[in-house]
Amino acid sequence: TDPFAQAFIHGVIQTTPTGISLWMGGHDSIVEGGWEWTDGSPFRYIHWNAGNPDDYFGEDCLSILINNGYWNDDNCQFKRGYVCKRRGRTPEPPPPHDGFMTALVCQNSLAVIHCPEESVINIQSAFYGRKSDDICPHFEGSGGTCTVDGILPIYRERCDNRPYCVARAHTEVDPCPTVSKYLEIIYSCEQKVCLHGLGVEDGNITDAQLSATSSIGLFTPNKARLHGNSCWMPSGSATSSWIQVNLGQTRKVTGIVIQGCPQSDYWVTKFKIQHSMDGTTWTDHNVDGAFFPGSVDRNTAETQLLGTPMSAQYVRILPLEFNSQAGLRFDVLGCTPDYAVTCANKPNFNFANDRMTVHCPAGCSQSNYIVYGTSVYRGDSNICAAAIHAGVILNEVGGDCTLLKAEGQNFYPGSTRHGITSRQFDGNYAVSYTFADGELRCSGPDWYEFGEFCYKPFVDKKTWHNARRACRNLGADLVSIQSMLEHSWLESYLYEVTSDVWTGLNDLVIHGMYVWSDEHIVSFTYWAPGEPN
């Protein structure tokens, strides 16, 4: 999947005594797809021999030529040597430490900040400029001092809650061009704790907490437990059926795991999700797209993570498409947010903390709320209603928001935003607060939101470089696609586009090594038949 692995493997196979080539795990034998690796790794690097792939008499498998290391599409029925790969025995990771880590990047350089498996980045501070002549000392202009404003929110948005991110020491507008700068980021790695099964598989959810519109014979809702020996199958029209779980209390829901029926080739290929706080009023979860891809066979457990987690006690799965007949096993992923608040909660800043993160339930615009101010809110304003007003959470979904303690004001203007009306207060109040993500996430005409990103399609035609320049002028970049979920969502939003559109995928820096122009690591590929060639 990269030039370094290619060079290593070529060096190893040079010692092979006989033969022309060896089998690798690449293939394009799935009729509707392009080249992919059998272990699911992204097909982001290519090293084709001249004239390949040529699909000569239906060559669908991938071999590596021993003499020069280049790749050849080959007849899968030929008998050749082969190369195996497995994960090495790595030592147990050390226990999480209490301290912080520092990343230092000299001007116009890149570094990747990353955390161990099952943990994510939490940015503590970020500085770009120069306050020491000992860091990156070999550059001209390393003797001055300079601070570039606004760096911390940029890196919090770019890196927080991700396993890795790219840190680039650069700014478009340079307030002190004669001073050479460096980027200093202090961060910690936090355990990723909100992806636990919520009890369907392990039996903590009782049979009585599982229900459905209908069932065929013995294929009742209580048989729908993930990895169980049976499944749920509806008796009526599958596309007007549902199965639901009562989680017993309000949970932060972060994903769904879905499986087919173990004894038959019945599985759901496409589904949608609804959620409810009371089991009576239901809301479609469509902020991540109108539907989710389901199973691909009877036994593989497919995990669909929600780009925007939701607060709910009841979760409902509605089959939309299926293989042969609808049937499924499932579990819901999430956690009990110990920082969960109700619609009535107000901030409780103490002398030691000036920042707090809470998890709001859905539906707080219908509660009896009192909010004073716009963008900066009086310290006794209801948190969740203010967060909806500020645009940092959606009323229909709820979610996480981070409050920042601010100075008291002598005037708080009122306004109506996102279904919340805040009041005006003309007087002094001791403390205020704002939100860390205080701007509308996708403000401006025709910008669509998915997960943490904003998207806007354009139909005017440009070259790739000019298209990228146009995106960058908007503070964006050409689209990168990180998952099948994001790909499906994009497809649903491009239905009005009548011709091909550019993405950010390119191999302009290293020939054959595909990267995204926004510097996301390529973790997902979805090549058309015969591609990449």
Same structural domain for residues 31 and 67? yes
Together in a domain, 75 and 106: no
Asked whether residue 239 is domain-assigned, the answer is yes
Rounded distance, CA 345 to CA 339, Å? Answer: 11
Residue with tokens 């996301």: 520
Which of these three, 167, 193, 219, is where a domain ends? 193
pTM surpassing 0.75? Answer: no
| Residues 6 or more apart whose Cβ sits within 8 Å of residue 213 | 234, 236, 240, 241, 242, 243
Q: Angle CA(300)–CA(249)–CA(244) in degrees, nearest 5?
A: 45
Residue 221: left (phi > 0), alpha (psi -120 to 50), or beta?
A: alpha
Closest CA to 455 of 400, 494, 495: 494
Indicate whether 277 and 370 sit together in one domain. Answer: no
Residue 56 belongs to some domain of the structure: yes
In terms of domains, do 251 and 327 share one?
yes
- Last residue within a domain, chosen from 161, 193, 225: 193
Give whole-number Cα distances, 416 to 243, 365, 390, 413, 527, in Å.
38, 12, 10, 11, 46
Task: Quote the tokens at residue 175.
Answer: 């307030």
**Residue 344 belongs to a domain:** no
How far is Cα of residue 357 from the mean position of the Cα atoms in its chain?
Answer: 20
| C-alpha angle 274-279-282 in degrees, rounded to nearest 5 | 35
- Kindly state whether residue 442 falls inside one of the protein's structural domains: no
93 preceded by cis ω (within 30°)?
Answer: no
Domain count, the chain: 5
Asked whether residue 522 is assigned to any structural domain, the reply reads no
* Claim to verify: residue 457 and residue 425 sit in the same structural domain: no
Q: pLDDT by residue for the chain (533 residues), tens digit each?
A: 888 888 889 888 887 767 889 999 988 876 556 888 888 888 889 999 998 888 777 788 999 999 899 999 999 999 999 999 887 765 544 443 334 678 889 998 888 888 876 667 777 778 999 988 888 887 777 778 899 988 887 887 788 767 788 888 998 889 999 999 999 988 877 655 567 789 999 898 999 999 999 999 999 999 999 999 999 999 989 999 999 999 998 888 888 999 999 999 999 999 999 999 999 999 999 876 788 899 999 999 998 877 667 889 999 999 999 999 999 999 998 876 556 688 999 998 765 567 777 888 888 999 999 999 999 999 999 999 999 999 888 887 777 788 888 999 999 999 999 999 999 999 999 999 998 764 445 666 677 766 557 888 898 999 999 999 999 888 889 999 887 777 877 887 776 677 899 999 999 888 888 989 887 778 888 888 888 88
327 and 298 housed in the same domain: yes
* Residue finishing a domain among 82, 109, 127: 82
**Residue 348: inside a domain, yes or no?**
no
- Here the CATH number for the domain that contains residue 418 is 2.170.130.20
**Does residue 202 lie in a domain region?**
no
Are 300 and 228 in a shared domain?
yes
Helices (H) and strands (E) in the chain, counts: 5, 30
Which residues fall within 8 angstroms of residue 487, CB to CB, at 6 or more apart? 481, 524, 526
Which CATH number do you get for residue 58? 3.10.100.10
Residues in the chain: 533
Same domain, yes or no: 149 and 50:
no
What range defines the domain where residue 150 resides?
101-193
User: Per the domain annotation, does 198 fall within a domain?
Assistant: no
Radius of gyration of the chain measured on its C-alpha atoms: 26
